[in-house]
Structure 1
Amino acid sequence: KGPESCAGHTRGPLCVVVCRCVLQPYQLADSHPRSGKERIGRSSRMQGAGNAATNVLGKPLKLCCSAPVTGFYRDGYCKTGPMDYGKHTVCAKVTEEFLLFSRSKGNDLMSPVPAYNFPGLRDGDCWCLCVSRWKEAYEAGVAPPVNLEATHRNALETVSMDILQQFAIQEPGEGHQTHQSL
């Protein structure tokens, strides 16, 4: 899909609602033209969330996943800020059922995209999901489990704590699984 279309739609106000979770792909590692230093992901000036991010439990936000590197800022955390239109705030342990559901909605998280260093997700991987997509999956009966310690407090603007707690990951460390090579 090119920059002018999204899930088969011409980009516009209606498409933003459907596609906002796919508008911010991985950026390639490259060298900064002036410093020669390698940089990956979005620039620090875009990171409006800062280091004081809080989870839904009112405590400091914990790492969601570092392999594959997740988060709007590709730092492993489900932080959000003014540029994160999709609000990638829910740290979920994705399931096959959820991945198929997401693909049916135009956001294929299973297929690798080598150009963006994205390996594709599999059942059991953790990922910062758009809160609206997670809620949509909840309403369809396919919501994946959630790591509350790594879910940003802004998710509560869209989904109640009672609902999130029903999907809370219980086993220690389960929310931090990493993508494994085939």
Structure 2
Amino acid sequence: MATKQSNRNLNVFKKPLALFSQSPMTGYYRDGYCRVGAEDGGNHAVAGLLTKEFLDFSASRGNNLRSVGLEPGCKWCLCTARWKEAMAAAQNDKDPVVPRVFLHATDESALSNGVSMEELKRFAAEPEVPGGGGSLEKKAPVQPGVTGGVAKETH
């Protein structure tokens, strides 16, 4: 399978994409990055912190993320369209149905898939960091191009 290496993917600040989570191992390619390649039709670009409310919302839309062992507090690469649906359903900017976003780990492709930078910043989990990039995990980064399998969630 030809995949785009994580060191070539950029975040929404056009800086190298940050490692997001290896526990649980997230990303369409299960390598810890919310990187997107041609095979990822769901655009798993949004680096989000799961809430009970979002898990309930996603399950109500036919994608029960709990079935793959996820729970509130997990970091997960979300489908851009599902995150946008949750944002549209939110009562306000504090509504926990919308997962908070880690901008430095969100693939820039989210911006060409219906989400604006202003929307992402409204729900940012972290303050902007000068220079961008880096790793949000304390673990050693994965080797670019090495994958842990393809995601099997439904959309």
Return the TM-score normalized by structure 2: 0.75
What residue in structure 1 maps to residue 106 of structure 2? Answer: 151
1:61 matches 2:17:
yes
CA distance in 1, matches of 2:14, 2:123: 18
3-state DSSP of counterpart to 2:47 = strand
**What residue number does 1:137 align with?**
86
Cα distance between partner residues in 2 of 1:82 and 1:121: 25
Shift of 1:51: 2.5
Q: Distance in 1 between matches of 2:79 and 2:72?
A: 17
Provide the identity percentage: 48
Letter matched to residue 101 of structure 2: V
In the alignment, structure 1 segments of 5+ residues that lack a partner are 1-44, 113-119, 178-182
Structure 2 distance, partners of 1:95, 1:80, is 23
Question: Aligned-pair distance for 1:46?
Answer: 3.1
**What's the offset of the Cα at 1:163?**
0.5
Q: Helix, strand or coil: the match of 1:46?
A: coil
Q: Deviation at 1:176?
A: 4.8
Gaps in structure 2 of 5+ consecutive residues: 91-96, 130-135, 139-155
Contact 1:72 1:88 in 2 (8 A): yes
* Residues matched between the structures, number: 125
Paired position in structure 2 for 1:162: 118
Cα deviation code 1:109-167 (max 9, x no counterpart):
0124xxxxxxx111111000000000011001121100000000000112000000011
* Alignment-derived partner of residue 180 in structure 1: none
Change (3 A) 1:148 1:134: same
